[in-house]
Structure 1
């Protein structure tokens, strides 16, 4: 991957998603399909996006017993998307099973989708971690442990806040992907996310890929917003 910007298609149906993609189609955008859109439209939305030459991150965050995740990943591999994910909290055996499923479901001669693990959601706060999840290590310690476990399991990288990228790279090396959501312009509303940064900050912190949603999809002019975010991310502004 060459430092892509992934646009989060967090829409309730294909009409809105494809309308947004049509405004960016000349750039062959990398897009994210999450639970809301995929559960509404199913595999059909993946095929429509592939017809528009999009790269696709299918963001379903699988977390279940190892065999269930393996069988699910076998089916997702057949969609021939570029990137899928699991929750690192599912553990090493589950993450290894996810890779087994992707390998088994990928066509002969075609590389499996890259697989990354969610460390902690960017909506998670330090207080939530200790008071609700009863994880009494710090956020940084927990995320570093989860990232190391994902690497040990053979995964390609993690989803994390850009704020955690330097420590993850320190533990897992520069070739281990750090894909960072929670990207906002300074004037944007944080909504339900807490550990957020700007595209410029993500670049400086060493993110490999950023995921941008409402700062583009909720903009009055999504095309201009996309170009601005992309330019800031690539260090051109």
Structure 2
């Protein structure tokens, strides 16, 4: 995968296909759940609705404009509204991943989504890859209210926890978005163990220092 944004629609499509197959191989794209998108100029390429991650093909992607207007005849994922909200709110973003990782979903159930509680950080790697990760309120898949919730919480880093739903990560490239996703799921796994025994997580001062270093 490229560490920089893809430079053509065809390159984006091939990269999106590779990422979907990688997510499926990692066990993060079960059945037809999850969705992935890429921005190339004012075009958004997305996984089509009802297609399993392992079966996504570069030549059979849905395509829309930034306004959501369809640019081909393939129906996009029902989560299109929050993908668009991310691209509109973060012009630097070129890739968005949404999957349903086991530990991320479990961790989200313990956090206060009404206050948009940040996921406690266990390791510096998590902070440096994902930033501060808020927990967003539960919305059913495809609910348009989720897009508004997402749009209001894009400034903290590269990831969001959707309570009882899943995880969203984004970045300037698929490499960045995937790195944030891997660290998010690992941090959730670690935190679920740490919280059982009352162990230490990183302090706010620790997190602030790491974010300053990352900048």
Bucket of the pairwise TM-score, normalised by the shorter protein: 0.3 to 0.5
Instruction: Provide the TM-score with structure 2 as the length reference.
Output: 0.33
The answer to which structure has the higher helix fraction is 1
Which one has more relative contact order, counting CA pairs under 8 Å at least 6 apart?
2
